[in-house]
Amino acid sequence: MTRRPPLAETLDLQPHPEGGWYRRTWASDVEVSLPDGRVRPTATAILFLLPAGESSAWHRVTSDEVWIAQRGSVRLELGGTHGRPEVTAALDVGTDLDLGEVPQVRVPAGTWQRTVPSSADALVSCVVSPGFDFDDFELDVDR
């Protein structure tokens, strides 16, 4: 495991299984029952730090996810919803609109996603609805 970066120390972030660093900052007190009977908060939020030069692994969750840029920028690749992920779209999530970055991106439920390295640290918030649970998280370990 790599040493915790200073910003991760400041924000008390922990290693995320996909790569990067995170901390859950909010979970709604309102719950929803999923079609299979499981219960989740209606939404959750995390801070997610991807240090310069690092990337996240291909992964997907069973809920919609909204990325909100906080600091720096990150390239988010989307990889479809079937089988193995293949890049179908790439978006630069950040706050520099003049460079074509977008401050918010929605990743539809079940869509493969990953981040690729950039030259600077990137900090985003991610809001997931229905709320995130690691039982709903799939990591593509073959890539």
- pLDDT tens digits, residue range 103-139? 999 999 999 999 998 888 999 999 999 999 999 999 9
Count of alpha carbons within 13 angstroms of residue 125, beta-carbon side:
11
Tally of domains in the chain = 1
Residue 52's identity, in one-letter code, is A
What CATH number is attached to the domain comprising 58?
A: 2.60.120.10
pTM, rounded to two decimals: 0.92
Domain range holding 120?
A: 6-139
Residue 1 lies in a domain: no
Rounded-to-integer distance, Cα 65 and Cα 44, Å = 10
Residue 96 lies in a domain: yes
Residue 86 lies in a domain: yes
- pLDDT tens digits, residue range 12-70? 999 999 999 999 999 999 999 999 999 999 999 999 999 999 999 999 999 999 999 99
